Amino acid sequence: MDAIAANRSQLAAALARVAAGDRAALRIVYQDTSAKLFGVCLRILNDRGEAEDVLQDVYVTVWRKAGSFDPARASPITWLVAIARNRAIDRLRSSAVSRRSEPIESAEDVRDDAPAALDLVVAAEQRERLKTCLGELEERHSAVIRSAFLDGVTYEQLAQRMDVPLGTMKSWIRRGLMKLRTCLER
């Protein structure tokens, strides 16, 4: 079993204990995942105070909903990342704070931004599959999909960033998603 797989089964076991009301197990989950989830929240919210509030909310949600985690359907870390992203995005949408609008990163930036080994959350084959399938898309389509996921921005904001009409942005993302889904299912 490689390190990521070992970590995955350890986390799944801890989540099962959390579902049974074990506070010490929540502490284990927190120690293993809070830096990644805080990074995810911070990236979306771009505000430490807001990200801290959301992080608290995330683990309270984990405490209450650990019973709904299904190891057959999701890996523990992607399940946790999904909760963190949803909370952060909901917070972003509900706040009146206008977001920075930055130009999208170029493909070169993306390649330079290789994550450290410790930061990797999903198994190598899953990561490779996503990379391969993204590679089959038009570059601008894969770039906006990636940017949407990481920054939690709306169609409207993406359209502004890329300086294209809203309808065009919707078309790019939807086409990208359709093609991506077919590829990821294979």
Partner 1 sequence: MSETDHSDTPEGGDPIVAGEYVLGVLEASERSAVAQRIEREPAFASEVAFWDERLGGFADEVKSVAPPEAAWSRIEAAIAAPSAAPSAAPALGALWQNLFFWRIVGLGSSGFATACLIALAYLGTVAAPERAPLLATLGQQGGQPGFVAAIGSGGSLVIVPASLLTANQKSMELWLIPTGTQARPRSLGLIAPSQPVRITVPPNLVPFVTPDASLAVSLEEPGGSRTGAPSNDIIAVGKLTNL
Q: Is 173 in the site for partner 1 (CB under 8 A)?
A: yes
SS3 181: helix
Q: What is the torsional sign of CA 98, 150, 140, 110?
A: positive
Q: Is 165 in the site for partner 1 (CB under 8 A)?
A: yes
Site track for partner 1 across 57-76, x = CB under 8 A: --xx--xx--------xxx-
Site for partner 1 in 90-119 (CB under 8 A): 90, 93-94, 110, 113, 115, 118-119
SS3 138: coil
Q: Is 35 in the site for partner 1 (CB under 8 A)?
A: yes
Q: Is 56 in the site for partner 1 (CB under 8 A)?
A: yes
Q: Is 39 in the site for partner 1 (CB under 8 A)?
A: yes
Q: Is 27 in the site for partner 1 (CB under 8 A)?
A: yes
Among 16, 19, 30, 71, binds partner 1 (CB under 8 A): 30
Complete DSSP assignment for 64-132: HHGGG--TTT--HHHHHHHHHHHHHHHHHHHS-PPPP--PPPPHHHHHH-PPPGGG--S-HHHHHHHHH
Site for partner 1 in 120-159 (CB under 8 A): 120-122, 126-127, 129-131, 145-146, 148-150, 152-156, 158
Backbone angles phi, psi at 25, to 5 degrees: -70, -35
